[in-house]
Chain A
Amino acid sequence: MVFDSVYEMFNPLTDVRKQHFWEWFSGESLDSRWTQTNVAGTGTFAIDDTIDGGLKITTGSSNADKSQITFNNIRQYSPTGSVCIGVASRGANAQYKMGLFNLLDDTTDQRAFVENGATQTYYRLGTAASSQTMTETNIAVDTSWRVSRIELTSSNCTLSIDGVLKATNDSNDNLPTSKLQPTFQSRTLTSSAVNCNIRYMETYNT
């Protein structure tokens, strides 16, 4: 038994499908749907020429330099009904944020994301609406590839890692209220360039 169409894998034809995208990060260069931004310092963006490499974002070489990919403020995802799934890893002395952001400038406003940084103890869920709430999971930070799933509803934001629910932020935890765009950010936590990789990202409105 197979599906007649990709559409019908996710929705019956009686439903109008909501916004949805997926990205495999496989090709000779990053797909043009993304905007590459150096938030601090000058990084590089390249498809990694390794098995299962995905996209590699290499930061600048000054401490706290960070570079990211976004939809350049085309924000089609809901703060009260959306899911973001990503498969990512980082190198030593690096930190990544992966999730849904309203803005491009990495302020602590209007976003929901998973954070994995070398100076943290655990993976964390972050939500922000003018101020930010960070909630630790019980998964120790590492350099492994992991799949993270962030779901925003009208009442909470959940983070699952490798298929297991690990953190929940609720209405007291600065849930975002503005429309959002997919974002993956690589940051160096030392005075040299570091790498973060992402090989899959999918976002959809529920």
Chain B
Amino acid sequence: MPTQQDSLYEQLQALTSVQKQHFVDNFSGDAPDTFRWGFGTWVIADGAGNSAVMEDAVNGGIKLESSGAGTNAGITMAFLDGTATDGSDNNGVTTIPFRPYLSGLANIIFTMKFNATSGFRESGGGFMTESRADMAGINMAMYCLKAKFSLRTSNGGGTQGETASSIDSDTDWHCVKISGNVTSDPVGAGQAQRLYIDGVEEVATTSAIGWFSDRVAPMFTVNRTGTTCSANIGYCEAWNG
């Protein structure tokens, strides 16, 4: 067990090593932090009906909800420009303008719950180069709502892979960690992109993973097939390994 340290810095690493990019968001406050996060829309160009709000409920975190209008309407949250919480500042496929994390070595921990298990297209959270609610695009490592929660990946050319965990989708809160230790192409021995759910390694994959030296950023999305769909995020922390 680590011992008490003089600083937050030293709780995470010794002063003899230089800390890399790292952030924490507790999603607790009067409104979404639009200094850090921006929002994007999908299908509904003006974002009408999409919303990102702090949920007024115990342990509510931030709630992303898609518009109920328009087939496949969705909303994304990433390090995007703009302040509109309906996503109208960032329509469709947008390269995330601030991507301080290294695709091969980035780590993310977040808590998330889906508010239904049906009515979603691709929805979830993780790292990506682009903000796009269809969870396609390049350099992706995303926790994805499927019949079983899955790790969806893509490489620098956009070729996708998807590996299911052992956990059936549900509406419970889960602690999700996505972690990479990839430093070369082809992937070296013992290297992979890994998905942990509630502390258990569920997926390790080496195929169709992001180009190890490309830049990525946290991205969350909900994307509907039926009526409006939503998910809550209670915590997000990301850092470079």
Query: Which residues of A come within 8 Å of B, CB atoms?
Result: 1-7, 9, 11-22, 31-35, 70-78, 179, 203, 205
Contact = CB atoms under 8 A, between A and B. Distances in A.
A19 B58 contact: yes
A19 B14 contact: no
Interface string B56-72: 11111100000000000
Query: Max chain A CB contacts within 10 Å: which of B14, B61, B177, B235?
Result: B235
16 contacts: A2-B2, A5-B107, A5-B109, A6-B24, A13-B177, A14-B200, A16-B174, A19-B60, A20-B28, A21-B29, A74-B30, A74-B56, A76-B59, A78-B58, A179-B57, A205-B58
A179 B29 CA distance: 14
Give the contact-size bracket for chain B.
Answer: 35 or more
Interface stretch (B5-13, B94-102, B121-129, B162-170): B5-13
Interface string B192-208: 00001011100000000
A74 B54 contact: yes
Contact of A21 (B26, B172, B198): B26
B86 interface: no
Contacts of B155: none
Contacts of B1: 1
A19 B232 CA distance: 12
B30 A76 contact: no
B196 to A, nearest CB: 6
Query: Max chain A CB contacts within 10 Å: which of B27, B59, B173, B199?
Result: B59
Nearest to A7: B109
B33 interface: yes
B169 to A, nearest CB: 16
B151 to A, nearest CB: 16
A3 B12 CA distance: 5
Shortest Cβ-Cβ A-B pairs, 5 listed: A33-B29, A14-B199, A21-B28, A13-B199, A72-B30
Contact of B234 (A4, A17, A71): A17
Nearest to A81: B58
Contact of B31 (A5, A14, A32): A32
Contact of A75 (B10, B35, B56, B174): B56
B214 interface: no
A76 to B, nearest CB: 5
Contacts of A34: 29-30
Contacts of A205: 58-59
A2 B89 CA distance: 40
B11 A9 contact: yes
Contacts of B2: 1-3
Contact of A17 (B3, B55, B111): B111
Contact of A13 (B10, B59, B109): B109
Contacts of A14: 175, 198-200
